Structure 1
Amino acid sequence: MNQSEMKEKIRSGNGFIAALDQSGGSTPKALAGYGVDESAWSTEEEMFGLIHDMRSRIITAPSFGSGKIIGAILFERTMDGQVAGKPTPQALIDQGVVPFIKIDKGLEEERDGVQLMKPNPGLDALLTKAKGLGVFGTKERSVINLANEAGIAAAVAQQFEVARQVLGHGMVPIVEPEVSIKSPERDAADRILLREILKNLDSLPDGQQVMLKLTIPAEAGLFQPLVDHPKVLRVVALSGGFSRAEACRELAKNPGMIASFSRALLSDLRHGQSDEEFDRTLGTAIDEIYEASTEKADA
């Protein structure tokens, strides 16, 4: 796939985006869920080797290349590694899966009800490297905990500032201002977020597009103006701590939104499963998430 083919796949492809981008802080938890406890490694390099083995197993599983996954978000170390003897982005492209890279460096402490992204002075170098490896786009995450107008405005403004930097490298940014599903003001935060995103989209030059990765809204269909916006390539949903069943049920109520799940995709996979059992388990999750992404229910 070339750049235009990847863009068209993301724009109109039936399927969803797999989030395989757990980073340093979340890797021990991801490995524990996979059935590998901290006694299995003694150095950070060994830990990252184990998580890369898990991701390689996922990417090379027959069900992963079934056509139902149209994109995958990678952690930088995964991007830099190899799968089946190829650079990871190329291994994905060869399966018809569009590669993205997680670019944020984690979260600041909460202020005004939000957690902004930490500074990332090495971003231009990372984008240049990723582009050279064939990566199509990026993903950056901040978190909204309360319906604080100033905080949400700051979070969205920061997201779009980074998005412009990504666009300058000829890549497509996934903007991810996540509203916590535990927020006591979730619906109000959703509505403020919608207004701020629309305001920032209007400031983008004509012809530029971003993607949006958002918490499934408390009110089904609330984000339809974003789905329909000409400067939005695709709107994808994060699972945000919902179980797979809950996330799929809520996602199916939102036309035009497709999944970009991590935990909800991988939660039933275990290190000790045979390859056949592993692929069958992964395939079941893929089928359920694909259905919620492509077959919409009444709200």
Structure 2
Amino acid sequence: MKEKQFNNVSNNKGFIAALDQSGGSTPKALAAYGVKEDTYSSEEEMFDRVHQMRTRIITAPAFDSKQILGAILFEQTMDSKIDGKYTADYLSEEKGIAPFLKIDKGLAEKSNGVQLMKPNPNLNKMLDRANERNIFGTKMRSVIHEANEKGIKDIVQQQFDIAKQITDAGLVPIVEPEVNINSKEKAEAENILKKEIMKYLDKLAENEKVMLKLTLPEQPNLYKEATKHPKVVRVVALSGGYSRKEANDKLKNNDNVIASFSRALAQDLRYNQTDEEFNNSLKKAIDSIYDASVNKN
């Protein structure tokens, strides 16, 4: 199964759907969906509501492998079920979509212009569970706010150190050093980031392959060299707060890069839509993101 998923994610047309909002971002995701905080009274209820939202997206007719290669899940989504199957199995078996798992524990305080990932001492146990749940790959996010060379070097080193743990566990890591789209030093930070990423890609062992999830750059095709690197399975782009139209327009200017959008994917979905309205809104989003991923200027 994993070999088939690897070939599909590596070579086929489509994009990665990001459905991995975690504890901090879940209330915002639910509010955007039309579910207010006063409609649930505990964290457990909150995650039940967001799983209902994700289930509605995943089971919608528009959400299929013709356009979607993979879907990124939150840890509790991995342990939840859809129609009696664990979410990853439902995605793989019913939809033909590769399941990824968000494995980071959130962001540390800002230092040297960046936010590293918080320590994750139980990562190996999580990776064991991911294998038990038939997860294909993982995703981990850190954030760059300034063009601080030391901070960016620290971010890239942390990302690739943890990526090695993930490849050793037989999973495909998505390395995500996001650059804040509102940074006044965004272009400069991206140039430093690219240089550091290429250094680490060149050091990877023969059996170590990664995916890169990167902010849409100020300079079109900045990461084109990375898209052709033999150790890179795929380069995907995050929407990072851009509207879907802005993100799609920027994506079209970057050859060989496909989308991995979260907010831009779900921005028009609402709790009170009929199933027909919901699916039509989702289809419109998927069609436009797919088009931007595969049809370049």
Tell me the TM-score normalized by structure 2. 0.99
2:124 matched residue in structure 1: 124
2:213 matched residue in structure 1: 213
Q: How does 1:1-299 map to 2 (within 5 A)?
A: 2-65=1-64, 67-94=66-93, 95-297=95-297
Work out the CA distance in 1 between the residues paired with 2:65 and 2:108.
Answer: 38
User: Residues 217-244 of structure 1, C-alpha deviation per residue, up to 9 Å, x if partnerless?
Assistant: 1000110010010010000000000000
Q: Report the Cα offset of residue 207 of structure 1.
A: 3.1
User: Residues 159-210 of structure 1, C-alpha deviation per residue, up to 9 Å, x if partnerless?
Assistant: 0000000011000000000001101011111110001001111121123210
Answer yes or no: is the 8 Å Cα contact 1:152–1:192 preserved in 2. Answer: yes
Name the SS for the 1:51 alignment partner.
helix
Work out the CA distance in 1 between the residues paired with 2:242 and 2:24.
Answer: 20
Unaligned runs of at least 5 residues, structure 1 = none
Work out the CA distance in 2 between the residues paired with 1:291 and 1:142.
Answer: 28
Answer yes or no: is the 8 Å Cα contact 1:60–1:84 preserved in 2. Answer: no
Work out the CA distance in 2 between the residues paired with 1:66 and 1:158.
Answer: 32
Answer yes or no: is the 8 Å Cα contact 1:113–1:151 preserved in 2. Answer: yes
Work out the CA distance in 2 between the residues paired with 1:151 and 1:200.
Answer: 16
Work out the CA distance in 2 between the residues paired with 1:35 and 1:3.
Answer: 36
Answer yes or no: is the 8 Å Cα contact 1:76–1:101 preserved in 2. Answer: yes
Q: Report the Cα offset of residue 66 of structure 1.
A: 5.3
Work out the CA distance in 2 between the residues paired with 1:41 and 1:207.
Answer: 46
Work out the CA distance in 2 between the residues paired with 1:118 and 1:181.
Answer: 22
User: Residues 12-63 of structure 1, C-alpha deviation per residue, up to 9 Å, x if partnerless?
Assistant: 1110000000000111000000000011101110010000000000000000
Work out the CA distance in 2 between the residues paired with 1:119 and 1:133.
Answer: 23
Counterpart AA for 2:114: V
Work out the CA distance in 2 between the residues paired with 1:84 and 1:283.
Answer: 22
Answer yes or no: is the 8 Å Cα contact 1:144–1:179 preserved in 2. Answer: yes
Work out the CA distance in 2 between the residues paired with 1:198 and 1:273.
Answer: 45
Moved more, 64-73 or 144-153: 64-73
Work out the CA distance in 2 between the residues paired with 1:187 and 1:46.
Answer: 41
Counterpart AA for 1:233: V
Unaligned runs of at least 5 residues, structure 2 = none
Name the SS for the 2:229 alignment partner.
coil
Counterpart AA for 1:53: Q
Answer yes or no: is the 8 Å Cα contact 1:239–1:247 preserved in 2. Answer: yes
Q: Report the Cα offset of residue 85 of structure 1.
A: 1.7
Name the SS for the 2:63 alignment partner.
helix
